[in-house]
Chain A
Amino acid sequence: MRAPIERLWSHVFYRPAHPLGLLGVRTVVCAQALWILLSRPDLPELVSWPAEFHASLGPLLPLRFGIVGLSLAAERGLFFALHALLVATLLGIRPRDTGLAAGLLLYHFAPFEELVAGLPHTAFGGLTIPVLALLILSFAEAPLPRAPASAEYRWPLALIQLLFSFSYLFPTLAKLRFSGPDWFSAENIHYYALGNATVTGAPLALWVAARPLVCGAIALGTFLIEASAPLVVVFPAYAAAFVPAALAFHFGILLVIGYFFPSLPLLLLLVHWDALGGRLARAGRA
């Protein structure tokens, strides 16, 4: 039993990878973080909200994220610094150092949006993977564009891809735990669509709710996409099929229940970077 696991571990984390993978991942997570932050330009203002909004949190939750009573001006300064660090990391300026600092500041600011409610859905804010990815990339060797393929470029890439795949797998585990296998039934999708028609007004909610076969197909598709997501780190060909399926999945969710997936651009993490790198290298030689 141990040998197959070791082989799988070695295949996933240590088979040689083209440096383009880490360069690509670095670009994608920095651009994603900047997109979310520029869409939430007044995040630091939360520290100026009346104390009543923070009273129920207790002292430890804010402390965990380094929210220690800094002034609004100081938080704004840090927020601006975070943008500058992300741009520097994106441009490859001392990327391990700037990425480390950006990752730590992002860890500080990402919970702001939902802090007053105790972070119920911070995982879906679009900054979870960028926080972890920036830190993981800062631990790893910085990729050199013309370097040969190396295991040093694989493990950080595979770990970040695997963490991203958990954002699909874990919701299925949650559904199974709290609702059981019947969550993945046509009836359940029918009631989700019906309920959200009255909350979000999603354009296809009522159309889907009226069609049991479509509801059943959505239930099955949800299970297949979510439960199989970790296979993307094992089989690059599966990742190539997963990305368009996941795109369709998210647009379907948007139209049927009105939930947007802010991490949608992170599907680019699953690009077959080795194949792309090899192709670019061949084109460069030709």
Chain B
Amino acid sequence: MPQLLSLGSFLLFLTLGARVRCSREPAARRRAVNVLLACVLLVCGSAGVTQLDNWPFTSHSIAVGRPRADSRICQTQFYGLDAGGNEWRLDPWSWTPVYDSILQFWVEQNLGRLPPAGRERVLRFLLDRAERSRARLAAGRPLGPQRLLGRAGAPYWLLLPRFPQVPDASWAGLRVYRACWLPVERVARPDRVLRTLTAEVRRP
């Protein structure tokens, strides 16, 4: 239902805009413009006040919480495995066009709910994507926003650290970890991270 309402509000915007576009007589045009303005402000204002997102009439919710000293940060982390079994943290643009933090969210919400066959298919697909990105990086070609525009490419809003180092040989596998830490502890000791293996896939 919310999706239909969102689609309805966008179609209403288009309809009222078309009315403005077709209006010629000044008084009628002014009325049509006023209705369009009022509608856009009402729909956008509703998103802003209720914080119910209705993109592109959006609530712009970001960084709204209040972390505390004991607030634990948890993150899904992806590692490639080389032939020797060594782990390499994967670059956040390895899954392009999906950014690492979006894939993290998807994995946390969905991977565990998939039946074994679906889970296997997803992990093998991700391993293939990671391998494609590894090959690009190993050949000295950029990933993600730098592909066409170089350093002028627009980054994703969350600037996760980049990991451009990759081995020359293909990935032998992919590991997915759940990593949690207390910021105040990790700042003092970067290795204070509790990692739990969530998933692993290896090439046959």
Contact = CB atoms under 8 A, between A and B. Distances in A.
Interface of A: 13, 35-36, 38-43, 45-46, 49-50, 52-53, 55-56, 58, 60-61, 63-64, 96, 107, 110-114, 116-117, 119-126, 128, 131-132, 135-136, 138-140, 155, 159, 162-163, 166-167, 169-171, 173-175, 177-179, 182-183, 188, 191-192, 194-195, 197-202, 206, 254, 257-262
A52 B122 contact: yes
A138 B36 CA distance: 13
Given A107-B56, A120-B105, A52 B17 contact: no
B154 A262 contact: yes
A128 B159 contact: no
22 contacts: A52-B114, A55-B110, A56-B110, A60-B7, A64-B10, A107-B56, A113-B98, A116-B98, A119-B53, A119-B55, A120-B102, A177-B64, A178-B51, A182-B66, A188-B67, A194-B67, A194-B183, A194-B187, A260-B156, A260-B159, A261-B157, A262-B154
B159 A258 contact: yes
A56 B109 CA distance: 9
B86 interface: no
A61 to B, nearest CB: 5
Contacts of B152: 35
A230 to B, nearest CB: 11
Contacts of B98: 46, 49, 113, 116
Contact of A124 (B109, B121, B157): B157
B165 interface: no
B183 A195 contact: yes
Given A64-B3, A259-B158, A52 B183 contact: no
B21 A128 contact: no
A191 B155 contact: no
B71 A50 contact: no
B102 A113 contact: yes
Nearest to B14: A135
Contacts, number: 216
A198 B37 contact: no
Contact of B60 (A50, A53, A171): A171
A94 to B, nearest CB: 13
Contacts of A178: 51, 61, 64-65
Interface residues of B, number: 75
B181 interface: yes
B63 interface: yes
Given A117-B109, A139-B20, A163-B40, 6 more contacts: A53-B106, A58-B3, A116-B98, A135-B17, A188-B66, A197-B183
Contact of B17 (A131, A136, A169): A136
B88 interface: no
Contacts of B55: 111, 119, 122-123, 128
A107 B10 contact: yes
B167 interface: no
A226 to B, nearest CB: 10
Contacts of B103: 116
Contact of B148 (A41, A63, A260): A41
Contacts of A45: 97
B196 to A, nearest CB: 17
B53 to A, nearest CB: 7
A110 B55 CA distance: 10
Contacts of A111: 55
Interface string B116-138: 00100110010000000000000
Contacts of A52: 110, 114, 118, 121-122
A197 B187 contact: yes
Contacts of A262: 154-157
A169 B7 CA distance: 24
Contacts of A132: 40, 56
Contacts of B3: 58, 60-61, 63-64
B169 to A, nearest CB: 25
B198 interface: no
A136 B17 CA distance: 7
Given A41-B147, A135-B14, A201 B161 contact: yes
Interface in B89-105: 96-99, 102-103, 105
A171 B122 contact: no
B18 interface: yes
B67 A192 contact: yes
A63 B144 CA distance: 27
B111 to A, nearest CB: 9
Nearest to B38: A9
